[in-house]
Amino acid sequence: MDVPGLDVAAHYHVASTDEVGGDFYDLFPLVSGTWGFFLGDVCGKGAAAAAVTSLARYTLRAAAVYDPDPAAVLANLNTVLNHEDNGQDPLFCTVIFGLLTPDGDKGGFQVTLAGGGHPPALLMRSDGQADYLPTPGGQLIGVLPDADIATTTVRLDPGDTLFLYTDGLTEARSAGADGRYGDEALLRFAQALAPTTAGDSVAAIRDLLDAFGTGVDDDTAVLAFNVPRHSGEEQM
């Protein structure tokens, strides 16, 4: 999907061809030039996870049309999953839902994010700085009747890149390592990349996942947004 004034890139890394994973993402237009997006990870694998994934995707899109406020969208999904719980297959997921709003003639975007138990997004600035966003972690979506959901807002200026991912990335094992890759290693990786673009950041993560080989035991989805620099503008 093309968003005017924004470069978008995504990748889905399959850990095993034997089991269907539960990672999902989407980007879609809403009213008044705004765009909705989400990235999430359903608990479990196989047919049950695939069914919850389909339900989550449909519910998030439909909820965003009714009320695009990110906290309201996740609250709606939480209600649906909680009501569908049959006590057998787990019906919960981690997810980030966001709104992209073009910021007039300034050439940037306002991004509002709501998190439901999902790893925080990474923000790689045009000046080479990179850090995790203080995205409200919140509670897993679908577990409790009333999930604790909060939002945070950030501005993307020309040259900035917002990067979202599922925990298959940080929970991967690198060759010869005893532990998981982890949040700190991913942050160092992002700091070395910045400043970057949506395509370059996703390509770098794709190469990293390939380098892990069999150390990646869970599917991984990544989604990146970048506001292109103005013509003739040099990187800092």
* Ranges of each domain in the chain: 9-226
Q: What is the mean pLDDT of the chain?
A: 89
Contact 215, 15 (CB under 8 A): no
CA distance 194 to 174: 22
Give the pLDDT confidence of 152-207 residue by residue, as tens digits: 999 999 999 999 999 999 999 875 556 889 999 999 999 999 999 999 999 999 99
Residue type for 64, please? A
pLDDT greater than 50 at residue 231: yes
For domain 9-226, which architecture applies? 4-Layer Sandwich (3.60)
For 212, the enclosing helix (H) or strand (E) is helix 198-212
Q: At a CB cut-off of 8 Å and minimum separation 6, what does 78 contact? A: 116, 141, 142, 144, 146, 147, 149
Place of tokens 């990349």: 193
90: tokens are: 């787990």
pLDDT score at 176 = 54
Closest listed residue to residue 114, CA positions, set 65, 166, 74: 74
DSSP string, 174-200: -TT-SS--HHHHHHHHHHHH-S--HHH
Beta bridge mates, 222 = 11, 165
The answer to whether the predicted template modeling score (pTM) of the entire model surpasses 0.75 is yes
